[in-house]
Amino acid sequence: MTPSPLVVVPGRFSASASALRYRALVNASALLESVRAAGGEPLTVLPSAPGGVVDPDEVGRRLGFADAVLLPGGGDLSPQRYGAPAAHGEVYDVDDEQDAFDLAVASWALREGVPLLAVCRGLQVVNVASGGTLEQHMEVPHRHVRHSVVVAADSGLAATIGTAAEVSCYHHQRIDRLGAGLRTVASCADGGVEAVEAPGARGFFLGVQWHPEDTAAQDPAQASVFRALVDAAR
């Protein structure tokens, strides 16, 4: 039997978890289950960037076994990472070690052509790693929101989910200036960037601002987002 592709998912630091007593490393079970349902084997890895610094080459040595990478949602990136002078009062859960590791993972995967799916914060990480910026707090946050997105007909995303979809969102930040080499391939009614691709990338890349894992078990279109990653990993 052919082994399932290994999909690395950087873990998220949590202050505590039941029965573990102290600081924990977590990932959303729905996200991991969506990877597994798509035929991949999700593997949570420890973000390690002491002092908020890490070399993408070092990350590559650690993750060289990965068939694909999934950058998940989470807390906010430090505004310093994209040159903003100060943090908005709504910026939360900033962790320099998490930021440094995720940014290095994004840079390494894009450079080496490792299949990469970036979800919510993950999309924002890729944008910042590519020289883009973020809007620190939206006037009307998209928390616990389901809405429609329009997808560019000539995009890889359209071939995966079609030219329109209903998506589940939970975010209060979004892309401001798009990073180099990225292309907006989906947007919502308020003009926000909902998905990006990298036409010149060596390998598969898709970044979505929504959470496809929220509805993947019921919505074949959202499940297909994970299948596209796993298929690329094969």
Residues 6 or more apart in contact with residue 141 via CB below 8 angstroms: 171, 172
Torsion angle (degrees, nearest 10) of CA 53, 198, 32, 46:
-10
Active site residue 211: yes
Burial of 94 per CB tally in 10 Å (0-12, 13-18, 19+): middle
The kind and range of the H/E element at 156 are helix 156-161
Active site residue 213: yes
User: Which residues is 186 bridged to in the sheet?
Assistant: 151, 195
Residues 6 or more apart in contact with residue 172 via CB below 8 angstroms: 90, 137, 138, 141, 142, 143
CA distance 94 to 152: 33
The kind and range of the H/E element at 135 are strand 134-135
Residue 25 phi/psi, 5-degree rounding, is -120, 125
Specify whether the CB–CB gap between 170 and 213 falls below 8 A. no
The residue type found at 31 is: L
What SS3 state is found at 95? coil
Catalytic residue among 33, 97, 120, 166: 120
Catalytic residue among 142, 171, 172, 211: 211
Active site residues: 120, 211, 213
